[in-house]
Amino acid sequence: MGQLFSGTSRREALCSSFTGYFQKFKAENKIISQETITSVELYLTLGDLQQVNDTITYALRELASAPLNVAVIGESGTGKSSFINVFRGVGHEEETAAPVGVVETTMRRTPYRHPNIPNVVIWDLPGIGTTNFPPKDYLEKVKFCEYDFFIIISATRFRKNDIDLAKAVSIMKKDFYFVRTKVDIDLENEKQCKDTFGREAFLQHIRSHCVNMFKKNDLDVPPIFLISNKNVSDYDFPILKVMLKNKLSTHTHRNIMFSLPNITEAVIERKCNSIQQFIWLEAFKDGVLTSIPAVGILKDSDVEKLKTSLNHYRVLLGVDDATLEFMAKDSQVPVEQLKKITKSPYLLETKNRKTLEGMFVKYIEKSVSANDRLLATGLYFRKAFYLQLLLLDTVAEDAKVLLRKTHSRN
């Protein structure tokens, strides 16, 4: 057995802290299983520090390495396979490419790995509505319930199958992006039919029509992207690629809810609570092996780690630069205006260091006054831990401010 606690009172305090912390969350909102929680509580009762640390470390590692299954769905001929190839950076002629063609080419669900995003499997599903895959049999044939996240591909115009797929995803309480392909063809056709033509106005017309169709069918409006699989540097494709890579790089099937758009402040709070659990668990497993205070002075290496954490939180809560660009285009608000009302991107700049220190002191005082469990149990956590919580809270507040700003425009 590993190193044992020297004091019964500290052991009891640790057990109380761990048990009490996770009692705050409903079972479906806990990022680790009840089995893991019970194991940690047992090792805490026995006073086995190393097993506590190892069990939490293993659980967090499992979360990080869990595969994420992403399904690309839609009608045949909308460009699903082409989209997968472009997103993966694979040429259509390459051996590992998804087959494309003018006839139905995807006859069975086919998995593809992304070369730069570990643990992500992108599934190319057969098109819905063909003779081989009629709507009434489609969901069962493609094993619809096995996927964690969906990308619905549509083209030319909004169809009933698009709505039916969106409803099926929503019923499973899973999330999706809506991608309208071939907008270059739409633009060219519009240009030929009308004497006066405005590109941006026409694209906004397509986007607004998609939004209205989701609302008309009582569905939450997902992120909507207008793209061309041929002109990948134009339209929304650059933003879509960055946003998708950010989302898929930081999510597992157990916390895919992070990809849900910030449609309400309650959603933002759910995301924030999950991230807080990660931070708390990391601090707890490190803290049980620490017998002396480890507050100290914040070092340059700590600041670099905090910058990484800050960027991570911005991606998870939809405050990163790529998402801001998408929000600006979607809400027709200048991106500079959105950046101006956010605080988190500038927190760790040298010129703001004194302001951050002042915020940090107030944050600690608030934690103590709220009888923070981490402090009350005698566990000593590094200064950087509390700064991570402060960064997260600041990012969450930015997300809420942006939600109010963009929502008021709709």
Residue 50 lies in a domain: no
Q: Which of 191, 225, 253 is the last residue of a domain?
A: 253
Same domain, residue pair 325 and 360: yes
Same domain, residue pair 214 and 332: no
297 class by beta-carbon count within 10 Å (0-12 exposed, 13-18 middle, 19+ buried): exposed
Provide the 3-class DSSP secondary structure of residue 182.
coil
Q: Which regions of the chain are under pLDDT 70?
A: 1-8, 10, 101-106, 195, 249-263, 289-302, 350-358, 360-384, 407-410
3-state secondary structure 240-267: HHHHHHHHHHHCCCCCHHHHCCCCCHHH
Evaluate whether 67 touches 149 at the Cβ level (below 8 Å): no
Which pLDDT value is given to residue 21?
84
- Flag whether the pTM goes above 0.75: no
Residue 191 lies in a domain: yes
- Compute how many other C-beta atoms are within 10 angstroms of the C-beta atom of residue 244: 24
What is the per-residue pLDDT across 281-338, written as a single tens digit (0 to 9) for each?
A: 888 887 776 654 444 455 666 677 888 888 888 888 888 888 888 888 777 788 888 8
Closest CA to 13 of 287, 377, 285: 377
Same domain, residue pair 226 and 153: yes
Which domain, by its residues, includes 314?
262-407
Which pLDDT value is given to residue 352?
64
Q: Which of 205, 230, 253 is the last residue of a domain?
A: 253
